[in-house]
Structure 1
């Protein structure tokens, strides 16, 4: 039986220049753009024509040329002949229907040729500041923007932020440029009408409409996922384009789609303006984004974890590990703490904590509400400056000698021998019992444990050998309840609650 795989095209809105764009001057640009009036209705159908006329002049085509080898996937160029053939057939049908001559497809770039792609951007200041996606312009060697009136302007990237997928460009013009303003995405409601303007498949300025389908979507593309979901048609080439409310304000930046085909199926995602605007302001001022950091590895609370820890509820962020020489360590945070608030604001999920701390200026102090061993407490931490994460060493344990029989939890344990440490590149500070194998279908496998993980804690007790781990696991089995274990994997630790196998 064949399964159809649904693909998250987090970067799939940039379209290739292997198909020449049919771009025509569709609009004349005024000096500035005022808020559009509420759209009238015609015969019961909402009319977006006034809104489109107001905002479209500020939406631009962003064409980028990248250095050879900078891109090699289907976000930038056609990945295979079938995709190229599909585009050729589409262009042929388009030409036959609308009287446009069919132009031959350009050959795919070779390995030593520069790659080209097109996306969308929008002007937020008459002086020529343009917002787009980082995945559109982040690797660009040359950037050219095309205005709605056909003018082409060279652009430079002032700054970019890969974590939020935002970039800020600057162009120079001898006259004021049309622009649009950010709206308040916190007031966006599910079901309200929206309009997207962009450059799908390189065809030029295109308007699509729909509604807000959902808010706060997490599509697992990054630590700040909080997308607006819309059914307005969004396709490759719409990357970096604006999503407008009915007042002509930008409430989102179109950046991702769910699609089994690469085309719109009514599941588009936009970065909310409430997240984008502060980032854009920092890029405009500093050319980069400064974020606060605590120096902890965190994981979400679950029902199993809560039960094993005697913690009430599933809200909060569980501290899996405290980094050395970090603000968290200086503040007295410990592995196993649950952070429940920041400066009095509730932390319901790990995303809340990530956003709150990241939005804090490095050097500022925050008060953290913490649950520890059944008690509530408050600690004060001086937020540090977030740095890029380093590489992770891949651990291997397939050759470890087993010294303990599989337990009711479905794991076999082995000591951290000198040979195992050398193979896994572990220093002496990493202690625990090596998981040599995990039984298929066991409770351990269901909770994601793998061979090569290191068991460091069972319940409240640290373990430094297979014998100690076995004793604690047997004690936990007698209770019949899930047991909390702390696991080390590839430089990171996390907590897992595992139930014993039914007898």
Structure 2
């Protein structure tokens, strides 16, 4: 099977994180009494030095500004025991590795079984990573996967001072968390503008890889608005800045800054076949960080709303189908009844090309723009309908709970995402395959199964993550229940071997 390893850093363990892309906005609030981190930063700093991009590249200023604003975070976790529905015990399996492998019999035979010893039950787990100081009074942003389920969080500053931090709020959908330590007059990193950063610009990464404190590396912006399906939350929002700056385990939660030392991203993940840096690192854009951290500071959570559409990236096949002379943009698959998009006049098969005059060449970019807004905010949507009819519509974002279900069924959307057509096996298939139940893959087209596995047409899916499937409904429910690593188990005709195919949702 084809696998693609990605890195998520809680300690040094490798974690494969995957997710299904959903589309959200943000909630409107009375802003009169709200605090704003950007304003706090401006009131506490002098104008930074200007950088000339026409002379030789010099990283010293960026390192000088950013290094004191990056902290070393150590989290203490209580050892956990997991027990599956069959009574099998597992011990300290990292999440989501536990979810990915818990139902695979091969792995139950080995190290993941719980040691029968009091020593193991009492030994804590220590995870290490980075964080960025945002304000002089001790607000710190890091990754949610760094601090999730931690019992204690210790923050060490650049000068060696150490503090116990408390969690102000977390946002699994963007993998961000806001911490607070009790101190004043701290060095911090100013917000930059990730919208203005261009592919090819120099950037600097600062963090604590492999517990090597205050490590500075440099690279360029390789791409923007990347969706790499690495976050495990069902409603995850991904629009990463990709860079080739060296980022490794322990950099998670650290800073990606410009040559002026301004924050443009929070380093979060790497794509790698080895578990260490391989040239592909990903950071959460600071314009997402601004929104999330301000909401967490003011409300303790991120208040979200929705536009109310199901979307996917345009491609040449869709362009040919709807007879449009462009292969980029955001294709509207479906529209929620009574949602903001429906009320604005958006229809299925529309192609959205910009939001508030910002080009939306991919779903990730559109998602990033909308998630900075709040319910009640108006957004101007420019789209193309019927191949050549350009329209400008205004939508007023709604709260998530105000939006009805998507018109198309989950089954249709999920099977389309996987790129598969299934049928329940008949009596003839039962005899041929010597099995009692399952679903036959009758057709594969462009989707996750073809992209991420080597499964072939004719394969009989007998189980999803060790959960038997007998109908398409049960298959969809099994996949929906997981929303992380998915393991398909089944057989081919004339072959007694059981095959396993793993992929991420």
Task: Answer yes or no: same fold by TM over 0.5.
Answer: yes
Structure with the bigger RCO (C-alpha within 8 Å, sep 6+) is 2
Tell me the TM-score normalised to structure 2 length. 0.61
- Which of the residues 315, 336, 339 maps onto 1:323? 336
1:73 and 2:87 are equivalent in the alignment: no
Give CA-to-partner distance per residue, 1:288-342, whole Å, 9 cap, x none: 2223312221222222222222233224333222234433344454433334444
| 8 Å contact kept, 1:12–1:262 | no
Whole-Å separation in 1 of the counterparts to 2:57 and 2:329:
43
Q: Would you say the 8 A contact 2:61–2:259 is kept in 1?
A: no
Partner residue, 1:350 = 363
Partner of 1:205: 214
Residue 198 of structure 1 and its aligned partner are, at CA, apart by 1.4
Contact (CA 8 Å) 1:12, 1:75: kept in 2 or not? no
Q: Which runs of 5+ in 1 are unaligned?
A: 17-31, 80-106, 404-422, 425-435, 453-488, 493-503
Instruction: State the 1:356 CA deviation.
Output: 3.3
Larger CA deviation: 215-224 vs 252-261? 215-224
Cα RMSD after superposing both structures: 4.7
Q: Tell me, what secondary structure is at the counterpart of 1:140?
A: coil
Find the counterpart in structure 2 of residue 384 from structure 1.
Answer: 398
297, 311, 314: which one aligns with 2:324: 311
* 1:238 Cα deviation after fit: 0.8
Call closer, same or farther: CA 1:389–1:254 in 2, change over 3 Å: farther
Name the SS of the counterpart of 2:361 in structure 1: coil
Contact 1:15/1:75 (8 A) holds in 2 = no
In 1, Cα distance between the equivalents of 2:352 and 2:445? 31
Q: Does 1:64 align with 2:75?
A: yes
Q: Which residue of the other structure, out of 170, 173, 179, is the alignment partner of 1:169?
A: 179
Look up the SS of the partner of 1:251 in the other structure.
Answer: strand
CA contact 1:321–1:335 (8 Å) conserved in 2? yes
Equivalence map 1:392-471=2 (5 Å): 398-399=423-424, 438-439=441-442
* Cα separation, 2, equivalents of 1:204 and 1:336: 51
Shift of 1:110: 4.3
Of stretches 364-373 and 246-255 in structure 1, the one that deviates more from structure 2 is: 364-373
Distance 1:397 1:68, change over 3 A: same
Greater CA radius of gyration, 1 or 2?
1
Answer yes or no: is 1:301 the counterpart of 2:314: yes
Q: What is the alpha-carbon distance in structure 2 between the residues aligned to residue 165 and residue 398 of structure 1?
A: 37
Higher alpha-carbon deviation: 222-231 or 138-147: 222-231
Q: Find 1:156's aligned residue among 156, 160, 166.
A: 166
298-307 or 375-384, which deviates more: 375-384
- 1:291–1:359 Cα contact (<8 Å) kept: no
Q: Distance in 2 between matches of 1:449 and 1:348?
A: 32
* Residues 47 and 325 (structure 1), Cα distance of their counterparts in 2 relative to 1, 3 Å cut: closer
- 1:145 matched to 2:166? The reply is no
> In 1, distance between residues paired with 2:143 and 2:222?
22
